[in-house]
Amino acid sequence: MAEADARAREGLTRKKARPGRIFPVLRIRFSTLVTSHSQFPVSLTLVNANVSEIRIPQVQTQPEPGPGAPEAPGDGPPAAISEVRRFLLARGNSALADRGFSWLMLLCGLSIFVIVGLIAYELVVRSELTLHKFGLEFFFQVFTDPDTHLKLFWDPVNAQFSARPFVYGTLVSSFLSLLLAVPLAIGVAVFLTEMCPLMLRGPLAFLTELLAAIPSVIYGLWAVFVLVPLLRDYVNPFLIKTLGWTTLFTDENPTGLGYLASGVILAIMILPIISSLTREVMSTVPHSQREAVLALGATRWEMIRMGVLRNARIGIVGSIILGLGRALGETMAVAMVIGATPEIHRSLLANGSTMATVIANEYAEAVGDMHLSALTEIGLALFVVTIIVNALAQVMIWAVTRGTPAQAR
């Protein structure tokens, strides 16, 4: 906002000076007037200086209160605090209290870093056992059951731990949810920003906000009693019949729980997030872009494709990644519908488990330190992955929306 502000100001002064190109004499006079005005206070006595200093920033800060409201246009880098405030802050006997107050607020701000650091530290300390014993192998290794010679991933009793089935479950359910949610979310965002009658926009935006705020346990409750029976009785038989040949849908789990159910409920949960962020990003594309494309004779779809989606694509990808971050870490709703078995199945209708759900299901009743440590290491991996994913998404969204004032969102 500060940059845009300063740029706008620069443009303003340049525009003022432009007539001077035609009338050189006038230009010189005008520019000397401007510079002498800005240097005016310096050459005056102290009392007058204060008075005129107060007057100048008042005029300049009023139209658009920005952090970098410059004292004089083109006069070095814009200061963070205006001259008036610096003068007023440096005077009087409240300097000590002010200093203390600003330090206290700084501490509050720094607490964010402290929390992140604390989480990372605690997770590393508590997962030391498995970190040392298995290392990175923890996420790939496969054990064999000594009796049945079957593959075995997670055996708390014999302290054999591999996060492989949970990584698999997390990836499958998250990507399934993205597959379902992304086309719909972008469709909704396009409809809301470009086609929707204004009357509908408010209520629909309110509805999305509301749905994004509903707790995951309530989505889980709904999924257990409505979605899972629906899938079990209608959708799954249909998928098995028509797409059974892909071996992605096999008829071995009659409960209706599993990867597909968790993918669907995750899609429902991340849809509001993706669509509202995409909408936000799309609405920051300047109107001149749309009008330029329309003026070339494009239809509305071509305008959306060339004028809007192309300009906003980084931000849209960012919002999808943010949705992915939510899907990766979502716990309760998934825990209620995925079936909670530490196995890997090719079929999307089979039971599974994700990184978040295994922690929720087993942590309170973990047997032994190794089990706790293994679960904590899964949490650590989840933490690191979501931090990376979210940081990436924030940077991408920021790349599109920066420079636009907060009101435009």
Partner 1 sequence: MRTVADGVVTGLAILATVIVVVPLIAIFAYLIYKGASSLNVAFFTKVPAPVGETGGGMANAILGSAMVLALASAIGVPIGIGGGIFLAEFGRGTKLAAAIRFTADVLNGVPSIVMGLAAYSLIVVPMGHFSGYAGGVALGFMMIPTVCRTSEEMLLMVPHAIREAALGLGVPNWRSVLSITVKTASPGIITGCMLAFARVAGETAPLVFTALGNQFWSTDLNQPIAALPLQIYVYALSPYDDWHRLAWAGSLVLIILIVFAVSLVRFVTSRGVLKGAS
- Select from 304, 345, 1 the least CA-distant residue to 165: 345
| Contact positions with partner 1 (CB under 8 A) in 325-344 | 325-326, 328-332, 336
Rounded distance between C-alpha atoms, residue 193 and residue 278, angstroms: 10
| Contact positions with partner 1 (CB under 8 A) in 169-228 | 183-188, 190-192, 194-196, 204, 206-207, 209-211, 213-218, 220-222, 224-226
By CB under 8 A, name the one of 8, 28, 118, 142 that touches partner 1.
118
**Residue 108 lies near partner 1 (rule: CB under 8 A):** yes
Q: Give one DSSP letter per residue of 137-206, joined into a string.
A: GGGT--EE-TTT--EE-EEGGGTEE--HHHHHHHHHHHHHHHHHHHHHHHHHHHIIIIIS-HHHHHHHHH
Mask of contacts with partner 1, 263-282, x by CB under 8 A?
-----x--xx--x-------
By CB under 8 A, name the one of 26, 28, 33, 105 that touches partner 1.
105
**Residue 401 lies near partner 1 (rule: CB under 8 A):** no
**Residue 356 lies near partner 1 (rule: CB under 8 A):** yes
Asked if residue 324 lies in contact with residue 174, where contact means CB atoms within 8 angstroms, the answer is yes
Return the beta strands (E) in 101-149 as ranges. Answer: 143-144
By CB under 8 A, name the one of 72, 322, 349, 396 that touches partner 1.
322
| Assigned token pair, 381 | 């991996």
- Closer by beta carbon to partner 1, 62 or else 247: 62
- 398: number of Cβ within 10 Å: 13
By CB under 8 A, name the one of 32, 39, 52, 111 that touches partner 1.
111
**Residue 7 lies near partner 1 (rule: CB under 8 A):** no
- Select from 12, 105, 16, 9 the least CA-distant residue to 66: 9
**Residue 47 lies near partner 1 (rule: CB under 8 A):** no
**Token pair 């009659």 in the structure block, residue:** 254
**Residue 8 lies near partner 1 (rule: CB under 8 A):** no
**Residue 296 lies near partner 1 (rule: CB under 8 A):** no
CB of 188 to partner 1, least distance (A): 5
- 77: number of Cβ within 10 Å: 8
- Closer by beta carbon to partner 1, 82 or else 351: 82
Q: Which stretch binds partner 1 (CB under 8 A): 9-17, 40-48, 253-261, 318-326?
A: 318-326
Residue 352 gets the label, from left (phi > 0), alpha (psi -120 to 50) or beta, of: beta
Sign for the pseudo-dihedral over CA of 106, 109, 111, 113: negative
| Assigned token pair, 113 | 């870093």
Mask of contacts with partner 1, 373-392, x by CB under 8 A?
---x--x--xx--xx-xxx-
**Residue 49 lies near partner 1 (rule: CB under 8 A):** no
| Contact positions with partner 1 (CB under 8 A) in 61-90 | 61-62, 65, 67-69, 80, 82, 84-85, 88-89
